[in-house]
Amino acid sequence: MLLGRADESADAVTGPPPGNHGAVTGGPARTGPPRHPETAQPPPAPPAPGYRGPVTGLSERSRPLLFLDIDGPLIPFGPSAGRRHGGPPAAPPQPPGRGNPLLGRLDPTVGARLTALRCELVWASTWLDAANETVAPRIGLPSLPVVRWADPRADEGPRGLHWKTPHLVQWAGHRPFIWVDDEIGAMDRLWVAAQHHEPFLLHRVDPAEGLTDDDFAVLADWLRAAVPHHLA
């Protein structure tokens, strides 16, 4: 039984509407790796801004997760990407590290736009800890949680299933989530729809362009529809 549905762009898939906990088809998911009293004194200074701020009307357990890949969504590979962000000409992906010439393609404003979605941001990339050391400071993000991958060779699944998919579903648990990546395919959409009980959005980004205004509009629209009052 397919619980998800494709959005208009055909690059993102949504899960069941909030509160729908009906039977889910498919095999079992694999395991993987003080408030201050009122006084006459001046009020305390407001907390420093950050993506972990409170979300009105949501408990932490129901707050959406946003799993974020780096190569493709944040570091685009197309020839126009370097011109847009003042980086070098297009080149093949390079290993993570401070000397990676493609770091110049990072958009320094994208961190604030991701924070404005008010999700719990999580790195879902092979960069692992290098994401916090090298990427986060360049785009204005704090240190974020990092998904630790099990050995992909140990995973078993249907042909076409991305090796990240089971790990992200397990990581999300019973929380709604968004996954932003440039390698999401049809089998990932079917598998998540069968395995995850909460709302979800699998959004594929064009790796030649990276995250664009249109992508952010899709993410915000889905949050408003699938997680009521989230962006209110």
Kindly report the CATH number that applies to the domain delimited by 5-14+57-226. 3.40.50
pLDDT in tens, 112-169: 999 999 999 999 999 999 999 999 999 999 999 999 998 765 556 889 999 999 999 9
Q: For residues 198 and 6, is the Cβ–Cβ distance under 8 A? A: no
Domain chopping of the chain, boundaries: 5-14+57-226
Question: Cα–Cα distance between 180 and 32 in angstroms, integer?
Answer: 20
**DSSP-assigned letter for residue 211:** S
State the pLDDT at residue 6: 38
The answer to whether 50 and 26 have CB atoms below 8 angstroms apart is: no
Asked if the model's pLDDT at residue 39 lies above 70, the reply is: no
d(CA 110, CA 90): 20
Which pairs with CB-CB distance under 8 Å and at least 24 residues apart come from 150-155? 150/32, 150/33, 151/33, 155/30, 155/32
Structure confidence at residue 118 (pLDDT): 95
Band of pLDDT at residue 101, cut at 50, 70 and 90: confident
